Structures are given as structure tokens and as C-alpha cells.
Amino acid sequence: MSDTAEILPIVPAGASVLRQVARRVEAAELPGLAGLLEQMAATMRAAPGVGLAAPQVGLGLALAVIEDRADYQARVPAERLLSMERTPVALHCLVNPVLEPVASAGEIELWEGCLSVPGYMGLVRRWRQVRVEAQDAAGAPVVIEARGWYARILQHEIDHLGGALYLDRLTPRTLCEARLWAASWADRPVDEAKRALGA
């Protein structure tokens, strides 16, 4: 995928396309979607973000792109990376993904943001490990077993395809402005932030 592709406008919260279930992509459509996937990847990188679903660029299609680059992670303290179980994830796309939690791995509550809700962060409880069945850009079946932050990205993007935002799963009272989050809560334990915020 190319970094020279057109940057698309990101749809903000409140747009109806973000609240509708994305339709399944048919095999015959895939050859014509290569350019869109390149644009989505370029848009995600320009934001910057670690995932972008088609509804976020105004298209109700069951498509998402994901990438968690090492250079993004270089700005995060090593201790926080470890607690997030966060490691680099190569750029890839998901077509028609179906997610199953690995319930035996439990859940974890961490801070999240969203490109469609710019400037805010909030605590969200999600499954620590998931299994995703999907297709790649060529229509070949793929199975992803993911844990930690990658599992969280997958859940976040696949939620978009079901018409959900992270705000719907937010731990009450934890929504905060991103600059305040960075200054006050980013490097402090989640339980401490929850107590201070009355969550």
C-alpha cells in the first residue's frame, strides 16, 4: 500500500454512517477496492492512527486497515508498552471480519481514543485475546489470533463495522480531553485514575 494515496476526510461522531451496520463486501467487488484500501491506509497514517474502518471515511463497507508501527511505539514508555502488551503490527486489511473473544484470557481496561472522536480519551474494558476470521484484499481467508493491544485494535475497528463507537463501551466518568489525559493520567495506574474521576 502506498503513502502517496489521497488522504480522505474522517467522518466525525454524529454521522449516521458510523451508527449503521456495514454491509458485507462481495468477492466480485474486491478488485475495485484496492485504491480505496490504499487511501484508507494513507489516511490512517496521516492522522496518525493504528486502525481505520470504512465507515470512518463515509463508506458502509465491512473493511478496515490496521497498522501499529514501531515508530509510534517509540514515543511510549517501555513500562506502559509492557502493561498494554503492545508490539508492532504490520499494515494489513480486513474484509468481512468476524470476531470471537477468547474468554479464558479475561478482560483488561485501558485508555482508548478514536479518529472519529478527536481530542478525547476514555477507559474501555475489552477482551484481552481474540480470534478473527476474515479475508484479505485478494479475498483469501485469514485467521488472526491476537492478544493485548492488537486485540484491542481489532475489537475497536470491528465495532465500527457494527455501528458502535468506543464511547458506547466507555467506563462511565472517564472521558477526558486528550491533553489533560497525557498530562494527568497516561503514566498513572488505571485504578488511580478511576478513583480520582469517581468511576
Among residues 26, 145, 157, 192, the one annotated as catalytic is 157
**157 labelled catalytic:** yes
Give the C-alpha separation, 31 to 20, whole Å: 24
Q: Which three-class secondary structure string do you get for 24-39?
A: CCCHHHHHHHHHHHHH
Mapped onto helix, strand or coil, the DSSP state of residue 23 is strand
Backbone angles phi, psi at 101, to 5 degrees: -75, 150
Residues in CB range of 185: below 8 A, 6 or more apart: 111, 121, 176, 193
Active site residues: 157
